[in-house]
Structure 1
Amino acid sequence: MIVRPLLPESLRGRKRVADRTVLNGIVWKFRTGTAWRDAPERYDPWATLHTRFRRWAPDGTFERMLETTQVGAATARRPPDRTSRCAPATCARPESCRPGGNAAPSPS
């Protein structure tokens, strides 16, 4: 996993919840725009998500993840697919790329 080495180590004695599950929960929270308390149970308790976010945000963990993935994408052999356009909780292809779509926009 590209992200695992970038995550801070636990300094507490208890076994912590899986970082991947927590990270997926944090991403879900911001993609949907809901409150922390409304996160689904599959991402573990909402308080764990919130606490981990509060620890990781100030120490630069998310910035390191972003920089690493950007460098990885820039050095990849295949350029990223730029034909899809994504917005929070949706992903749609431009009209000209969809089956049956027009190659050129129709005059209005």
Structure 2
Amino acid sequence: MARFDLTDFEWSVIQPLLPTKVRGVPRADDRKVLNGIFWRLRTGAPWADIPARYGPHTTCVNRFNRWRRAGYWGRILKAISVAYDGDVQIIDSSSIRVHQHAANDQKKTSDPVAWVARAAA
């Protein structure tokens, strides 16, 4: 178990919320794939850099996107928050590097109402 992998308690909360229908090829281990997704989200690394211990990176990215579209992530986060009595806090520390010449450039703004009026005319 890696440092930030799901604990047994967290897994016991999440596992009942996951889809159980299996079609075609047997599913990769959900816990392993979830740990890979969480590793990627925590590090910000490209999907292709997910360590091999979490399985193929394509499985992680495909399952992340499929579960996002199906609404599983909201249910998972809500269940974990309830399990920890609301003591789970998440801080997003995203930062984006801006090109040095774009940082202080004049913003090109236009009046969206005027633009719509011109397009309609």
TM-score > 0.5, shorter chain as reference: yes
Instruction: Give the Å deviation of 1:10.
Output: 3.3
- Give the Cα–Cα distance (whole angstroms) in 2 for the partners of residues 48 and 81 of structure 1: 27
Equivalent of 1:59, from 64, 70, 78? Answer: 70
Cα root mean square deviation, aligned: 2.3
- Mapped contact 2:40–2:46 kept (Cα < 8 A): yes
- Give the Cα–Cα distance (whole angstroms) in 2 for the partners of residues 67 and 46 of structure 1: 26
More helix as a share of residues: 2
Aligned residue for 1:20, secondary structure, equals helix
Corresponding pairs, count: 81
> Residue 47 of structure 1 aligns with which residue?
58
**Cα distance change, pair 81–42 in 1 and its aligned pair in 2 (3 A):** closer
Q: Which has the larger radius of gyration?
A: 2
- Give the Cα–Cα distance (whole angstroms) in 2 for the partners of residues 54 and 74 of structure 1: 28
> Residue 104 of structure 1 aligns with which residue?
none
More strand as a share of residues: 1
- Highest relative contact order (Cα 8 Å, sep 6+), 1 or 2? 2
> Residue 24 of structure 1 aligns with which residue?
35
Runs of 4+ in 1 over 4 A off after TM superposition: none
Equivalent of 1:33, from 44, 52, 74? Answer: 44
Compute the TM-score of the two structures, normalised by the length of structure 2: 0.59
Instruction: Give the Å deviation of 1:72.
Output: 1.6
Aligned-pair identity in percent equals 41
Compute the TM-score of the two structures, normalised by the length of structure 1: 0.66
**Gapped runs of 5+ residues in structure 2?**
1-11, 94-121
